[in-house]
């Protein structure tokens, strides 16, 4: 008789960390996402509105073309200013090495994506030929903007100029916009971390831990990444709203989530946490197109994205943005049907939101 064995889900080490450097970078990076994602924290909206067109362009350049420079050293740094000092001390050789390491990691950890690109390319080689650099980066980042990549090439080919460009911008954004906001949010971030640290995760898989922390089923988004991770670190971010951000590298996964408390936790700032959570959920309902999508899903067991596009008569990008926010806030459930993404209404989430609103107002 044949015996069939099923491998038990691997348990992981779960950590919670304030991680001020990756946290600050995450907030600044999301300034580039306001047109793509809805429902983000209003600090991002206010900050972007206060930036000059030149600063907006510089922020995009830093977090798209020069993202490899922002990868953190193995030893954690205690603050964002300390990271800026570290970045300013890197030599030209080290700066190019960080970009070469990024490409090497892409070839190693994302072979399917990199299979369509030239193999074994290095930044050192790219910098010898402008056309080669622009063509390769356009394909790698799936961003067909020759003017953008030509400007990036002009900066990259002189590492000292590139370094000054990145450090100056990040220092300006920290001093002018983010420092005061970070100090204001620090008590909530710290309380969130301490509350989650009191939970015992020793018998949990990575996916189970992610569900407890984010209050979302992230199986489709994270399963492959988490299966390769021995350590999962959760970092609460004050500006992510309903979204999560995931970075995986060699057995380690970092998950940024919108700052919150575990279900049932008590807090000295309970009202502020509850209000923040309600704002995220209610913001998702405060749009006619999103309400129309939810109404459509009350009339059908399931609709695919193309069905919704046709019924609403709006663009694919618009529907995608609305579906992203509804999925992130838990109002809809996504599943793949062959190559299509299809959606159904999560009535439990709707009921839970109404209950949360009632409870919040009854305490006031």
Question: Three-state secondary structure along the chain?
Answer: CCCCCCCCCCECEEEECCCHHHHHHHHHHHHHCCCCCCCCCHHHHHHHHHCCHHHHHHHHHHHHCCHHHHCCCCCCCCCHHHHHHHHHHCCHHHHHHHHHHHHHHHHHHCHHHHCCCCCCCCHHHHCCCHHHHHHHHHHHCCCCCHHHHHHHHHHHCCHHHHHHHHHHHHHHHHHHHHHHHHHHHHHHHHHHHHHHHCCCCCCCEHHHHHHHHHCCCCHHHHHHHHHCCCEEEEEEECCCCCCEEEEEECCEEEEEEECCCCCCCCCCCHHHHHHHHHHHHHHHHCCHHHHHHHHHHHHCCCEEHHHHHHHHCCCHHHHHHHHHHHHHCCCEEEEEECCEEEEEECHHHHHHHHHHHHHHHHHC
What is the SS3 assignment for 186? Answer: helix
Please choose, from the candidates 264, 182, 283, the residue with its C-alpha nearest in 3D space to the C-alpha of residue 215. 264
The stretch 186-212 carries a mean pLDDT of 90
pLDDT of residue 7: 42
pTM for the model: 0.84
Sheet arrangement for strand 244-249? 13-16, 231-237, 252-258, 244-249
Q: How far apart are CA 322 and CA 332, in angstroms?
A: 11
Which is higher by pLDDT, 30 or 229? Answer: 30
Q: Which of 35-44, 51-60, 115-124, 173-182 has the lowest mean pLDDT?
A: 115-124
Quote the tokens at residue 362: 């009854």
Q: Say if residue 307's pLDDT is above 50.
A: yes
Q: Could you state, in order of their start, the residue ranges of all structural domains in the chain?
A: 13-17+187-258, 20-182, 270-363
CATH of domain 270-363: 1.10.10.10
The stretch 267-293 carries a mean pLDDT of 80
Q: Say if residue 196's pLDDT is above 90.
A: yes
**Confidence band (pLDDT; 50, 70, 90) for 198?**
very high
Span 253-268, pLDDT tens digits = 889 999 888 876 665 5
Q: How many residues does the chain have?
A: 364
Span 46-61, pLDDT tens digits = 999 999 999 999 999 9
């Amino acid at each position: 008789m044949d015996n069939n064995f099923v491998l038990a889900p691997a348990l992981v080490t779960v950590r919670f960390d304030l991680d001020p450097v990756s946290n600050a970078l995450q907030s600044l990076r999301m300034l580039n996402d306001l047109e793509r994602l809805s429902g983000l924290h209003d600090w991002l909206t206010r900050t972007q509105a206060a930036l000059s067109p030149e600063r907006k362009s510089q922020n995009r350049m830093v977090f798209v073309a020069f993202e490899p420079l922002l990868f953190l050293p193995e030893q954690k740094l205690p603050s964002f200013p300390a990271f800026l000092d570290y970045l300013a001390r890197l030599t030209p050789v080290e700066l190019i090495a960080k970009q070469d390491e990024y490409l090497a990691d892409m070839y190693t950890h994302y072979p399917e994506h990199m299979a369509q690109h030239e193999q074994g390319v290095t930044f050192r080689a790219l910098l010898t030929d402008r056309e080669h650099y622009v063509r390769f980066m356009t394909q790698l980042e799936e961003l067909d903007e020759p003017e953008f990549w030509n400007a990036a090439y002009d900066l990259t080919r002189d590492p000292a100029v590139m370094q000054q460009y990145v450090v100056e911008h990040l220092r300006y954004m920290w001093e002018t916009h983010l420092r005061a906001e970070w100090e204001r949010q620090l008590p909530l971030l710290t309380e969130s971390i301490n509350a989650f640290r009191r939970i015992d995760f020793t018998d949990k898989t990575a996916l189970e831990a992610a569900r407890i922390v984010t209050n979302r089923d992230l199986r489709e988004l994270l399963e492959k990444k988490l299966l390769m991770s021995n350590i999962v670190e959760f970092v609460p971010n004050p500006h992510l709203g309903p979204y999560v951000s995931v970075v995986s590298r060699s057995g380690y996964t970092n998950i940024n989530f919108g700052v919150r408390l575990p279900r049932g936790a008590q807090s000295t700032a309970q009202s502020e946490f509850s209000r923040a959570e309600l704002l995220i959920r209610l913001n998702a309902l405060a749009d006619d197109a999103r309400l129309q999508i939810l109404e459509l899903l009350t009339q059908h067991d399931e609709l695919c994205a193309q069905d919704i596009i046709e019924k609403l008569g709006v663009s694919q990008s618009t529907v995608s943005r609305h579906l992203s926010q509804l999925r992130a806030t838990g109002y809809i459930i996504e599943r793949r049907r062959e190559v299509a993404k299809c959606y159904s209404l999560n009535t439990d989430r709707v009921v839970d939101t109404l209950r949360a609103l009632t409870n919040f107002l009854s305490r006031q």
